[in-house]
Amino acid sequence: MLEAIHFQYFLGGLISLLTITNPPSKIPLFISLTQGMSPEQKIDQAKWAGIYSAAIMLVSLAGGNILLTFFGISYGAMRIAGGLVVAAIGYQMLFGGNSPNKAPIVRRDKDDYSFFPIAMPGIAGPGTIAVVIGFSTEIVELDDYVDMAIAFAWTALAIVATAATSWFVMRYADVITRRLGPSGTLVLGKLMGFLLICIGVQFVGSGIRTFATGG
């Protein structure tokens, strides 16, 4: 039973992060920025983008609570704010056609785009960081330090799995684009948008409960 509870942190984190990052939505950005690069360069860009995005999310997981304490932000406030941000992104995806963590238009005048804008804000943008910090605030409220450490480990594993998925999608972007097609990408984006709204509402509800109990 205890193991199942711990595993929920991995499953919940993985679903939430895959939804907010939406790896297939990064294919157009990746293909556009790596146009004209050799196959080896494209593979290298995908690899480092995955590594950088994982590092950003792991730092957010480890240091998010320290940052909140420094600015005097309560866990409840963070969850409500994060939930509103995530729900707003989901609403834009569902009704406006925008993707989460939408990266700005960047001129193709350099040879390395793996950190900016692919990893940040493409993969690990504000919405992703809000989700990660939201999970970290829930973990630190666990009573037992062993449970807390295990929960952090499972969440970190979910982060690594998300980054690995993003790497895989970018690594085989050309093949996935041909198989999925424009209509498939659109449908997937709408589904992700609805799931993001659900996740955002869940975060807001959790934040309200924390406020009600004095957190």
User: What are 58-110's pLDDT values in tens digits?
Assistant: 999 999 888 888 888 888 888 888 888 888 878 887 887 555 555 544 555 56
**Residue 3 predicted with pLDDT over 70:** no
User: Where along the chain do its domains lie?
Assistant: 2-104+111-212
Burial class (CB in 10 A: 0-12, 13-18, 19+), 202: middle
pTM > 0.85: no
Write out the CATH class of domain 2-104+111-212: mainly alpha
Question: Residue 175 and residue 37: Cα distance in Å, rounded?
Answer: 16
Residue 213: the pLDDT is: 78
57 and 124 Cβ atoms separated by less than 8 Å: yes
Residue 148: the pLDDT is: 92
Contacts for 56 with CB less than 8 Å, ≥ 6 apart = 119, 120, 124, 129
- Report the largest interatomic distance among the alpha carbons of the chain, rounded to a whole angstrom: 56
Amino acid occupying residue 154:
W
Tokens encoding 126: 């504000």
Q: Tell me the per-residue pLDDT of 35-66, one tens digit each, with 9 for 90 and over.
A: 889 999 999 999 999 999 999 999 999 998 88
Instruction: Indicate the SS3 state at residue 172.
Output: coil
